[in-house]
Amino acid sequence: MFKKGENIILGISVGDMNGVGPEVILKTFEDQRMMELCTPVVFGNAKLLSFIKKIVNCQTNIHGIDSLDQIQKGKFNVLNLWKEGVNLDFGTLNDAVGQYAIKSFVAATQALKNNEIDALVTAPINKYNIQSEEFQFPGHTDYLDKELEGNALMFMISEDLKVGLVTDHVPLQQVSQTLTPELIKQKVRTINKSLIQDFNVIKPRIALLGLNPHSGDNGIIGNEELNFINNTVKELFDEDIIIYGPYSADAFFGSEQFRNFDAVVACYHDQGLIPFKTLSFGNGVNYTAGLDKIRTSPDHGTAYDIAGKGIADFTSFKNAVYAALDIYKSKNEYLQSTANPLKVSTI
């Protein structure tokens, strides 16, 4: 019988099963040495994973369980959340399959919330077919923000680059109204704290990108920088957060200025995600920083165009597993080191 604490219990939501999610999960744990790092448990159905395993020609040994107290160390555990069969048609958008993806994700999140698993890695979903009366969220991050403690922040991480977003899944026409000094401060503080406790950066250096082209050109191309962004950077610096900017986003990455910083903060989704995926695609990881629990995911989507062909690259998913394990250890070491500081004795 598995005893919690022997190694990290890693929960995995199965994602959209018509996409590449199950394939990259299976390929990641085809190497038995991965079981020395963690004990995986996929929230889904063992028979269905066995079927997909044959389709994508993978040799991962599947251990089906019916409850989390049956998890076994050294095994690729698959928790049977449902018994019925599911009709898959690889590469297609299917509402029923989307609901199974959310069933997996919600169950895994609740297990994370209840400390039945230590960390969570989510396989890609399709934001369209997950919607229902019970689940009305744009994606994983928004649901996690509701269910877990803290303030969720999309933090894209790779070996050479970390990019956090002030606004994430917000329509472009709403970004300027959504962006406020308070929101910028909240996100920057979250990134600064995450760098310290999750990534062992003692004194983080952070860059903030401007909202407008050329950071507004002194008000010629937009006034947000002059009205509040410049002053917000000064106020954060006064809080002893080492932050500089706002930088003009168009030249910041091409000139490799990002290498001078531990993290970059983008004002909106594409401003941060386009350069990140250009520089790190296939290797990057999406980490939900700012919460009391750990969740990571690969930096790609369902990839319907190659689903079921056995050719999906699992590097990003494997990196998401590594990142979850590393962050779990770093966070716990930080919390332990700061929980009981030595009392100063008086003579």
Q: Which two tokens stand for residue 71?
A: 């998890």
Specify the pLDDT at position 108: 98
Specify the pLDDT at position 1: 40
pLDDT at 347 > cutoff 50: no
Specify the pLDDT at position 326: 97
Superfamily of domain 160-282: Isopropylmalate Dehydrogenase (3.40.718.10)
Under 8 Å between Cβ of 20 and 302: yes
Express each pLDDT in 291-316 by its tens digit: 999 999 999 999 999 999 999 999 99
Specify the pLDDT at position 336: 87
Average pLDDT, whole number, for the chain? 93
Under 8 Å between Cβ of 90 and 101: no
Q: Which two tokens stand for residue 177?
A: 């109204």
Express each pLDDT in 85-122 by its tens digit: 999 999 999 999 999 999 999 999 999 999 999 999 99
The reply to whether 160-282 shares the fold of 1-152+291-346 is yes
Express each pLDDT in 34-68 by its tens digit: 999 999 999 999 999 999 999 999 999 999 999 99
Helix (H, G, I), strand (E, B) or coil at 286: strand
pLDDT at 4 > cutoff 60: no
Express each pLDDT in 234-273 by its tens digit: 999 999 999 999 999 999 999 999 999 999 999 999 999 9
pLDDT at 317 > cutoff 80: yes
Kindly state the percentage of the chain with pLDDT values over 70.
96
- Looking at domain 1-152+291-346, its CATH class is alpha beta
Rg (CA), the chain: 21
**Domain map (residue ranges) of the chain:** 1-152+291-346, 160-282
pLDDT band at 341 (very low <50, low <70, confident <90, very high): low
Q: How far is CA 246 from the centre of its chain?
A: 25
Neighbours of 261 (CB within 10 A): 21
Kindly state the percentage of the chain with pLDDT values over 90.
88
Determine the average pLDDT of the residues in 149-171. 94
Express each pLDDT in 163-221 by its tens digit: 999 999 899 999 999 999 999 999 999 999 999 999 999 999 999 999 999 998 899 99
